[in-house]
Amino acid sequence: MDTLLAVRARGITKCFGDVVALDGVDLDVVRGQIHGLAGPNGAGKTTLLGLLLGLAVADSGRLEILGTPVRRALTVPEGVAGFVDGPGLYPSLTARQNLAALAALRGGDARSAGVDDVLDQVGLTDVADDQTRGFSLGMRQRLGLAAALLTKPRLLVLDEPSNGLDPAGKKHVHGVLTRLAADGTAVVLSSHRMDDLAALCSDVTIVATGRVVFSGPLSKLAAENRELDYRLATSDPRAARRLAADAAGIRIVDDAVTRHDTDALVVRALTPALDALVARLVHAGLALRELAPVVSPLEAAFLALTEPKEAGR
C-alpha cells in the first residue's frame, strides 16, 4: 500500500439482504488530509464509515487501513477511532467520568490518558462535571470527538460531527480537525453541509445509491463549468431585465420584477456569460446592488450529481 494513504478501498460491495448498500466503491484517503463524504440519505455513507471503523466487513472488494488489509469485522489496526450515528455515552456519568471510563477500559487512567486536555480541546471544560443526560446534541457530538481523541488516532472517522453545533462549538471542532490533519492524522467525515466540507476538506467523495458519483478535489467539484442560478439586483430593475433578456447565454428563471414582488431577478448562466452581463449593466450606468448564487457552487454540483434524473432527460 502507498505509505501516503491511510485508506485504500477498491471495489467495495456491501449488501443487507436484497439491499445493495455499497456497489463497487473506490476510496483513497491521504494521511494528513480531511476527506469529506457526502450523499443523500440512504446513499451508503454510514455503511462505508462502519467498514472503516471495523464495525462490519465488505462482502467483496479490498480494503486497506493504515497499511493493513481488513478482512474481518473488528480487526482494524490500532490508531483508528471515531463514531457513526452519534457517540455512545453513559447518561448518568459526567463528561469527565465518561472519558475516564473509556481510558480505564484501555488500561489507563484519566490523567495519563489526557482527559482534561481533550475536554479543553473540544471546549467542554466548563461542563466536564455535568451529567451527559442533560447535554445538547452538539455537546454530545463534541464529547464523542473528545473520546476519539483519547486514542491519539492516525485515522479519525466521524459521522456528521457538526450536527447540533452552535458557532462556538463548530469553531472548536473545526480547529481540532484542522490541527489533527496538520499533524498527519487522516480524517474522514460525512456531512450534509456543503459549507462544512468547503471549510475543512481538500478532497470529497460523493455517493448516491451506493455508488461513487464523484471523487476528487473540491476545486474540481466546484469548477466553473455548469450553469448556476444567480440573484441579481440593480438600481434599475426593469432596465436590468431588458439587458438580461437580450444577453447571450442568460436565461431569466424568476421574473419577479414584472410581478412587482421584488427588485431582483434570478438568472441562470455560466460564469463567462454572467461576467459579460455585469459588464453590460455597468456600461449602461446601472449600479449593481446584489449578485449572489441562489445556492453555492458546491451545493449546486452536489444536487446535479445526486438528484434523480427525470424520465426522458
CB of 76 closer than 8 Å to CB of 150: no
In this structure, what is the dihedral angle of CA atoms 61, 67, 71, 74, given to the nearest 10 degrees? Answer: -130
Q: Is the dihedral of CA 172, 177, 181, 185 positive or negative?
A: positive
| pLDDT at residue 225, as a whole number | 60
Calculate mean pLDDT across residues 82-106. Answer: 91
Residue 281 clears pLDDT 90, i.e. is over it: yes
CB of 207 closer than 8 Å to CB of 43: yes
Residue 83 clears pLDDT 60, i.e. is over it: yes
CB of 178 closer than 8 Å to CB of 200: yes
Q: What percent of the chain has pLDDT over 70?
A: 93
Candidates 214, 247, 233, 209; CA nearest to 288 is 233
| pLDDT at residue 75, as a whole number | 85
Calculate mean pLDDT across residues 198-213. Answer: 94
- Sorted by where each begins, the domain ranges of the chain are 5-220, 228-295
Residue 313 clears pLDDT 80, i.e. is over it: no
| pLDDT at residue 10, as a whole number | 97
Better pLDDT: 193 or 34: 34
Candidates 288, 293, 178; CA nearest to 229 is 293
Residue 264 clears pLDDT 50, i.e. is over it: yes
Residue 23 buriedness (CB in 10 A; 0-12 / 13-18 / 19+): middle
Grid coordinates given for 1: 500500500
* Residue 259 pLDDT class (50, 70, 90 cuts): low
Residue 106 clears pLDDT 90, i.e. is over it: no
Tell whether domain 5-220 is in CATH 3.10.20.30.
no
The least confident of 18-22, 78-82, 86-90, 287-291 is: 86-90
| pLDDT at residue 312, as a whole number | 46
16: phi then psi, degrees, rounded to nearest 5 = -120, 95
* Residue 224 pLDDT class (50, 70, 90 cuts): low
Q: Can you tell me which residue has the cell 463548530? A: 170
Grid coordinates given for 155: 485515522
Residue 302 clears pLDDT 90, i.e. is over it: no
| pLDDT at residue 73, as a whole number | 83
Q: Can you tell me which residue has the cell 426522458? A: 312
Residue 147 clears pLDDT 50, i.e. is over it: yes
The least confident of 74-88, 183-197, 215-229, 241-255 is: 215-229
CB of 50 closer than 8 Å to CB of 65: no
- Cα(207)–Cα(275) distance, integer angstroms: 33
| pLDDT at residue 279, as a whole number | 96
Residue 310 clears pLDDT 80, i.e. is over it: no
Residue 186 clears pLDDT 80, i.e. is over it: yes
* Residue 226 pLDDT class (50, 70, 90 cuts): confident
Q: What string of DSSP letters covers 135-183?
A: --HHHHHHHHHHHHHTT--SEEEEESTTTT--HHHHHHHHHHHHHHHHT
